C-alpha cells in the first residue's frame, strides 16, 4: 500500500525537526511527501520529531522554539509511555505516537494534521488591529508592530475571547504552557511591551486590565455598529375644533 496523502501535483510537505538524519521508518518521503528543510509547522508544513533521540536539553530547545500555534501541527514519534504521550498532547502537540508505528499509519496521521492546519484561522481582525498567524505579526492600520513570538502569542490568545477577561493563570497555561503560576511578573512585563507597541500605532487602550489581574482585548467602539434609536412616533393628526370640543361646547 502506498499512501500519497494528496494528489502528486500537490504533494504535502513536512519538516524533520531534529539535527540527526531522518530514520527510514519515519521518512514520509516513502509515502509521497516532500521533505522541506525550511518549512515552518503551522503554515502548510507538518513537523515531525523522533522523541527517542531527544535528551532533556533537546526537548528544552524544541519547546522554546515551537510556540503553541506551531505545536498543533507537529507529530511526535517514538514515545513509548502512555503518560508521556498524554503530557505532550496536553502541552499542545498535534499527535503523539509510539516507536512501533507503521509508515502507512504515520502518513495518515500526518495528513490529518495537514488538513487540520488548513482549517486554522490565518488572520484575525479586531477593529484596526490585524493579526497574521503565518507571519506571527500584528498590524495597526497596516503598520507592523514587530512583535516577538511571546507577544504575538499573548495577543492571539486574547483575540480568542474578544471583550472577555482572560486570567493570568489562563495565559500562563495557554502561552507559557505551565501548569502553575511562577513567582515572576513575566506576564505583566510582556503585556507592558505589547501595549507600548500597540500605542505606537495608535491603538493605546485596546488591552484592558481587570481588577483581579486578567486582561482582555477590547473591540474598539468604532467597529461596533451604532445602535439605532427607535423612530419618533408620528404626530397625531390635528382634530377639528368641533371634534375636539364637541357640539355641546360650541352651543355656548
DSSP class of 221: G
**CA atoms of 70 and 41, how far apart (whole Å):** 5
Phi, psi (rounded to 5 degrees) for 149: -55, -40
What is the pLDDT, as a whole number, of residue 7?
Answer: 41
What is the pLDDT, as a whole number, of residue 58?
Answer: 82
Torsion of CA 145, 146, 147, 148, to 10 degrees: -170
Burial class from Cβ neighbours inside 10 Å (0-12, 13-18, 19+) for residue 42 reads buried
The predicted-structure confidence for 117-160, as pLDDT tens digits, reads as follows: 666 667 888 999 999 887 788 999 889 999 998 999 999 999 98
pLDDT at 252 over 60: no
**Which of 139 and 184 is assigned the larger pLDDT?**
139
Q: What is the pLDDT averaged over residues 1-25?
A: 68
Q: What is the pLDDT averaged over residues 215-220?
A: 90
> Which of 93, 143, 202, 163 minimizes the C-alpha distance to 132?
143
pLDDT at 74 over 60: yes
The percentage of the chain sitting over the pLDDT mark of 70, rounded to a whole number, equals 76
> For the chain, what is the mean pLDDT?
79
**CA atoms of 130 and 38, how far apart (whole Å):** 26
What is the pLDDT, as a whole number, of residue 179?
Answer: 65
Q: Map grid coordinates 513570538 to a residue.
A: 149
**CA atoms of 25 and 17, how far apart (whole Å):** 15
Sign for the pseudo-dihedral over CA of 51, 54, 59, 65: negative
What is the pLDDT, as a whole number, of residue 52?
Answer: 86
**CA atoms of 224 and 240, how far apart (whole Å):** 47
**Which of 131 and 184 is assigned the larger pLDDT?**
131
Domains of the chain: 8-119 (3.40.50.2300), 123-221 (1.10.10.10)
Among 75-79, 81-85, 134-138, which stretch is predicted with the lowest mean pLDDT? Answer: 134-138
DSSP-assigned beta bridge partners for residue 150 = none
The predicted-structure confidence for 93-113, as pLDDT tens digits, reads as follows: 889 999 999 999 999 999 988
Among 77-81, 122-126, 204-208, 221-225, which stretch is predicted with the lowest mean pLDDT? Answer: 221-225
Q: What is the pLDDT averaged over residues 152-175?
A: 89
Plot region of 57 (φ>0 → left; ψ -120 to 50 → alpha; else → beta): alpha
Per-residue confidence band for 221, with pLDDT thresholds at 50, 70 and 90: low
**Which of 248 and 74 is assigned the larger pLDDT?**
74
What is the pLDDT, as a whole number, of residue 4?
Answer: 38
DSSP H or E stretch at residue 47: strand 45-50
The pTM of the full predicted model, rounded to 2 decimals, is 0.51
Amino acid at each position: 500500500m502506498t499512501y500519497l496523502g494528496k494528489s502528486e501535483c500537490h504533494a504535502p510537505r513536512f519538516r524533520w525537526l531534529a539535527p540527526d538524519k531522518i530514520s527510514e521508518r519515519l521518512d514520509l518521503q516513502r509515502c509521497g511527501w516532500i521533505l522541506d528543510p525550511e518549512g515552518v509547522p503551522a503554515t502548510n508544513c507538518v513537523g515531525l520529531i523522533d522523541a527517542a533521540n531527544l535528551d532533556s536539553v533537546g526537548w528544552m530547545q524544541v519547546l522554546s522554539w515551537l510556540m503553541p500555534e506551531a505545536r498543533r501541527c507537529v507529530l511526535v514519534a517514538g514515545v513509548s509511555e502512555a503518560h508521556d504521550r498524554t503530557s505532550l498532547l496536553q502541552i499542545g502537540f498535534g499527535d503523539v505516537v509510539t516507536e512501533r508505528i507503521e509508515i502507512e499509519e504515520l502518513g495518515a496521521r500526518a495528513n490529518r494534521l495537514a488538513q487540520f492546519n488548513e482549517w486554522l484561522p490565518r488572520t484575525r481582525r479586531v477593529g484596526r488591529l490585524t493579526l497574521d498567524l503565518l507571519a506571527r505579526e500584528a498590524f495597526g492600520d497596516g503598520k507592523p508592530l514587530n512583535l516577538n513570538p511571546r507577544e504575538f502569542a499573548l495577543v492571539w490568545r486574547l483575540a480568542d475571547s474578544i471583550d472577555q477577561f482572560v486570567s493570568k493563570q489562563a495565559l500562563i497555561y495557554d502561552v507559557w504552557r505551565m501548569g502553575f503560576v511562577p513567582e515572576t511578573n513575566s506576564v505583566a512585563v510582556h503585556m507592558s511591551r505589547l501595549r507600548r507597541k500597540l500605542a505606537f500605532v495608535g491603538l493605546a487602550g485596546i488591552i484592558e486590565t481587570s481588577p483581579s489581574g486578567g486582561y482582555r482585548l477590547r473591540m474598539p467602539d468604532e467597529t461596533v455598529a451604532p445602535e439605532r434609536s427607535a423612530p419618533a412616533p408620528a404626530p397625531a393628526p390635528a382634530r377639528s375644533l368641533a371634534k375636539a370640543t364637541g357640539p355641546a361646547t360650541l352651543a355656548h
